[in-house]
Structure 1
């Protein structure tokens, strides 16, 4: 399965070489990643946190660490809290 641009397998973004592919694509267009591992999105310009299908919080990784307790707790479980 590929995304609509046919550039990389949609289920591989953020795994192995998919992350660097997404990084290269982000230099020229908007990239939307859906991630369970926060390490996939820590360098993103904006992270949107969904809860029950609704946007609950948005910001950078650092901003969410300092201002959103559930995000910070999740980051701590993944050893990403600063």
Structure 2
């Protein structure tokens, strides 16, 4: 939810062109846990004080986990 609000704010401030919010119910899995751990270990939440939109860099092993999440949920 927090990231959705930040993405909408970024679009309003012209940091990004547009945002589409998708409501998904993705079950917590080992893949989700690995991605969450990576994000929490490498990034902090600046809230709405951001000056620009920062796209999180995803190393190949995290991209693989994200693709597995999409495949597991028939989204990719």
TM-score bracket, shorter-length normalisation: under 0.3
Higher helix share: 2
Per chain length, whose mean CA-contact separation is higher, i.e. which structure has more relative contact order (CA < 8 Å, sep 6+)? 2
What's the TM-score once normalised by structure 1's chain length?
0.27
